[in-house]
Amino acid sequence: MSTILAIETSSELASAALLHNDVCSSRQTAGVSTHSQSILPMVQALLQDAGISLRDCDAIAFGAGPGSFTGVRTACGIAQGLAYGADKPLLPTVTLLALAQACREQTGANDVLAVLDARMGEVYWAQYRFDVTWQVVIAPTLSSAADVQPQGEVVACGNGLQAYAADFAARPFFAAALKDMLPQATQIARLGAIAYAQGLAVVASAAEPLYLRNKVALTTMERLEKAAKEAA
C-alpha cells in the first residue's frame, strides 16, 4: 500500500492531498496569485496530521496539465523541489484524467468527457472510458468549444462547460454535466497510486508540464490578422 503526496495548481483552485494507509486527506485554497505560497504549508500540515515526513512517502504526484501556464509550471517546480530534497520519484498526472476520475466517483460514469476552460475562446478537453482501468478515447486537445466532438454518449464535467455554456447548451451531455468541476489533488493522489503500482514513476529531472498551447499571448500583428480573418 503506497503513500502518495499530491499537489494540483493548474486552475484557480490550489490543493494538496496525502494518500496514506488507504485514506486520502486533502486541503485546498482558492486564488491563483497565492498558489506558490499556499502549497507548501498545506503539504506540511498534511504530513504533520498523518505523523509522517516527506521521506515516508513513496512518490509525489502532481497535476501536469493542461491548465494555467503558470499553474502547471508551479506544480511541476514545487514537485521537483520536494522530490530532489527527499530523493523521491514523481508521478506527472493529466488534469483532465483527474477530472474524469472525480466525475466517475460522483456519478459512476464509465464514459467521461472532461472540459477545462483554456481562456482565449478555447477549451482543453479529452474523453476517457473506464474498463478496469482508464483508457484514452480522445487524447487531451485544445480547441474551440464548437470543435469538441466526443464519441458516443458521455457524462461531461469541467468548468469549460460553464465558461462556454452558450456553445454547449444544445449538446445532449450539457444538461446533466458537472459544469463547475476543477481538478483536485485528491484524484491526482489516487491516480498517482495506480501509476506508481504500474511502475510509471519518473525521476524528478524527467518530469515536465503538459502544454497544449505553445504560445500564451499573441503578438499585436497576430491579433490584428486574427481580427481581420474573423471579420472577413
CA 147/CA 132 separation, integer angstroms: 29
pLDDT of residue 1: 82
pLDDT tens for 102-115 read 999 999 999 999 99
pLDDT of residue 227: 59
Exposed e or buried b for every residue in 102-129, given b needs 16+ CB within 10 A? bbbeeeebebbbbbbbbeeebbbbbbbb
CA 49/CA 60 separation, integer angstroms: 17
- Residue pair 187/98 in contact by the 8 Å Cβ criterion: yes
CA 62/CA 206 separation, integer angstroms: 13
CA 91/CA 60 separation, integer angstroms: 6
CATH number of 4-95+183-206: 3.30.420.40
pLDDT above 70: residue 216:
no
Q: Where are the beta strands (DSSP E) in 23-182?
A: 23-30, 59-65, 90-94, 111-119, 122-131, 133-143, 155-157
CATH 3.30.420.40 is held by the domain 96-168: yes
pLDDT tens for 49-86 read 999 999 999 999 999 999 999 999 999 999 999 999 99
pLDDT of residue 218: 46
Angle CA 205–66–176, to nearest 5: 145
pLDDT tens for 172-213 read 999 999 999 999 999 999 999 999 999 999 999 999 999 998
DSSP state of 178: B
- Residue pair 207/80 in contact by the 8 Å Cβ criterion: yes
pLDDT of residue 219: 46
pLDDT of residue 125: 98
Among 116, 231, 216, residue whose Cα is nearest residue 164: 116
pLDDT tens for 36-59 read 789 999 999 999 999 999 999 999
Q: Domain residue spans in the chain?
A: 4-95+183-206, 96-168
pLDDT tens for 104-162 read 999 999 999 999 999 999 999 999 999 999 999 999 999 999 999 999 999 999 999 99
Quick one: average pLDDT of 12-36?
89
Whether the domain at 4-95+183-206 and the domain at 96-168 fall into the same CATH topology: yes
pLDDT above 60: residue 220:
no
